[in-house]
Amino acid sequence: MKNNKILIVAGGTGGHISPGIALYQVFKNQFETYFLTLERNKNYNEFIKKNINPFYYDSPRISKNLKDILLFPIKTVLAILKSIKIIEKHKINIIIGLGGYPTFPALISAILLRKKIYLCEQNVIPGNVTKLFSFFAKRIFLTFPIDEKKYPSIAKKSLITGNPIREELFVVQKELKPKKNVKNIFMTGGSQGAKQLNEMILNLWKDYPEFSKDYYWTIQTGILHLEDFKNQLEKIGFNKNIECFGFSTEIYEYFKKADVLICRAGAGNITEGILFSLPMILIPYPYAKDNHQLENAKYIEKQNAGIIIQTKSTEAKELYQQLQKIIKEYDFYRTNIEAIKYHKNPAEIIKENIIKDL
């Protein structure tokens, strides 16, 4: 198998990089494995912690800025040439794309060099990269079921595996103990934070002060929003039951102690909610492309494992009502989220299926 050399291409956000790292972890012991990501991710802490030394390139994204539009074809050609050089120099014959614009030049290179292509699609609504490269892909690994009638060319090559999970998180999952009631509520807007969610939770505590006292709250505000959140928290009266932070490389520790999760509906958040068996209140990002976060959230709601709040507002009344519902019916939601949790790491399933193709 060492004759087969794999290049994992992921970038943009942690939602793509994290499953890329998960795949790197499971492939590296059996294959010569490489990682390609964006220049801006050079200081990404998880690469350093896991002793991953990626290749970097500047993969441009489409922008409305005139300068970016003019530079787009030049930067794309340069990124294609760089990825061709990497593939040829290291004799790579398998490329796994994790979706998003960062994978575009590398996948073009893979086509030009006639290499095997595999795709991972994180969302219910396939992204442009998956749509564009599905014809060339040997197989497409899905996090959620997709509409087979709407996307027949993708569906015929697809396998629902779930979203690849880093090894250490999967180990933590096995250590979890059953929970019977709600004590800890975790709200995360992701590593970048979500101003809407931060303001909504502050309004919840202002309008329903008993809620801030009856439960232990952990809030990931995002680094840029942390100081402002703390200042607003002081104005409404700091409570010893509230902990807030901007970013953590040990984020799984917060998921581990939580009983309920409030978050956006990106694939990464939902994957972690499933992994740690947390009933969810999902507040989809209202400006997401193709409204894909809402479609992701609908999957969880259909499983009766969470509740959707669809709003652009920071008003807290609906959040209060839905939190009460989940707390009152906690056993119901907990049982249903347990029913869809991962019993095998999706990264392992993906590896096994690629090995079958060799």
219 and 154 co-located in one domain = no
102 and 120 co-located in one domain = yes
Among 267, 338, 328, smallest CA distance to 303 is for 338
113 and 160 co-located in one domain = yes
145 and 247 co-located in one domain = no
User: Domains in the chain: how many in total?
Assistant: 2
Q: Is 35 helix (H, G, I), strand (E, B) or coil?
A: strand
Angle at alpha carbon of residue 356, lines to 353 and 358, rounded to 5°: 120
CATH number (domain holding residue 214): 3.40.50.2000
92 and 191 co-located in one domain = no
| pLDDT value at residue 197 | 96
191 and 142 co-located in one domain = no
200 and 113 co-located in one domain = no
What the block records as the tokens of 65 is 């800025």
157 and 204 co-located in one domain = no
Partners of residue 281 on adjacent β-strands: 262, 307
300 and 260 co-located in one domain = yes
| pLDDT value at residue 213 | 85
| pLDDT value at residue 124 | 95
Q: How far apart are CA 136 and CA 133, in angstroms?
A: 5
| pLDDT value at residue 2 | 59
The residue segments making up the domain with residue 130 are 5-165+343-357
Question: 72 near 105, Cβ under 8 Å?
Answer: no
Which residues, at least 6 apart from 323, have a Cβ–Cβ distance to it below 8 Å? Answer: 185, 211, 260, 262, 281
Question: 284 near 264, Cβ under 8 Å?
Answer: yes
| pLDDT value at residue 117 | 98
pLDDT above 70: percentage of residues in the chain: 98
Q: Which residues of the chain have pLDDT under 70?
A: 1-2, 191, 193, 238
**pTM for the whole structure:** 0.92
Dihedral of CA atoms 197, 198, 199, 205 in degrees, nearest 10, equals 100
189 and 321 co-located in one domain = yes
In order, the DSSP letters of 121-182 are E-SSS--HHHHHHTTT-SEEEESS---TTT-HHHHTTEEE------HHHHHHHHT-----S-
121 and 187 co-located in one domain = no
